[in-house]
Amino acid sequence: MIQIENLSKKYGNKIVLNSISIFFENGKVYGIVGENGAGKTTLFNCIAGLETFEGEIKSDIPKLKNHLGLLVTEPYFFSKITGKEYIQLLCNARNIHTIDFEKSNIFDLPLNEYASKYSTGMKKKLALTAILLQENNYFILDEPFNGVDIQSNIIITEIIHKLKELGKTVIISSHIFSTLNDTCDEILILENKTISKKVGKIEFNQLESEMKKITVGNKIDLLGLK
C-alpha cells in the first residue's frame, strides 16, 4: 500500500498540489485524471522521490522508491546506450543480473540498437519492459498508452491486469477514458490542486458522461462546421 497524507508542493510561490491525502491498496489499479497542467506528473514525481514536498508518504515496504517502477511520459535515454544495455542497467539497480532478453522482449524491440534512435512508442515500450523486469512492488505509469500502437496497447492492458493479479499497486494516468475503464478499480480526479473526487468502477460510465458534458459543452457548435 501507499498512503499519502497532506501532500503539498510549491514551485516558489506557486502552489501546484495542495493538501492531498490518498490511500492506494495493494492489488488495485488507480487512474488519475485531470487537465493538462493539473499536477499529475508532479504528484507522480513526489511519490517516486524525485521531488521534495510537504506532507508524508508511507508504504508497507520501507524505502518506497527502491521498489517502485516509474514510467514517465517521455523516457530519456543516453545517446550511446542500446536497448539491451538500458534494461541491464535498470535491472542492476535492483540487483537483478540474470535476464533472458529474448524471452522477455515481448514488444519485439531491436535491443541491439541505440535506444535514442527508437521511435516514441518504442522508447515507451523499452522503458516499460525495464521496470517490469525490475520486479517492483509498485508501479506508476504516466500516459502508458500514448504514442503506442494498438497491438501494444492491448498487451499493456493485459500487463496491468497481471500486475493487479500479482497484488501490485498500480497508478496510471491517461487521457483515453476507455483504457481507464478497462484497467482501473478507481478513478481519482485531480483538479484545483487537489483530489476533488474518487469514483468506483460502477460509476465510470456516469463519470465519463459528466466529463464529456463539461469538456465539450457547445464548443463543437461554435465551430460552425458545414
Residue 95, domain CATH: 3.40.50.300
Q: How confident is the model at residue 131 (pLDDT cuts 50, 70, 90)?
A: very high
Q: How confident is the model at residue 156 (pLDDT cuts 50, 70, 90)?
A: very high
Residue 214: pLDDT above 70?
no
pLDDT per residue over 11-40, tens digit each? 999 999 999 999 999 999 999 998 888 899
Element of type H or E holding 89: helix 83-92
Q: Are 26 and 178 contacting, i.e. CB atoms less than 8 angstroms apart? A: no
Q: How big is the CA angle at 90 (ends 88 and 94), to the nearest 5 degrees?
A: 105
Residue 203: pLDDT above 90?
no
48 vs 57: CA distance, rounded Å: 10
Q: Residue 39: which region, alpha, beta or left (left: phi > 0; alpha: psi -120 to 50)?
A: left
The DSSP code sequence of 136-183 is: -SEEEEESTTTT--HHHHHHHHHHHHHHHHTT-EEEEE-S-HHHHHHH
Residue 197: pLDDT above 80?
yes
- Number of separate domains in the chain: 1
Domain hosting residue 176, numbered range: 2-222
141 vs 195: CA distance, rounded Å: 18
Min mean pLDDT across 22-26, 43-47, 116-120, 217-221 is at 217-221
pLDDT per residue over 37-76, tens digit each? 889 999 999 999 999 999 999 999 989 999 999 999 999 8
Q: How confident is the model at residue 82 (pLDDT cuts 50, 70, 90)?
A: very high
199 vs 203: CA distance, rounded Å: 6
Residues of the chain with pLDDT > 90, as a percent, come to 77
Sign of CA dihedral 216, 222, 225, 226: positive
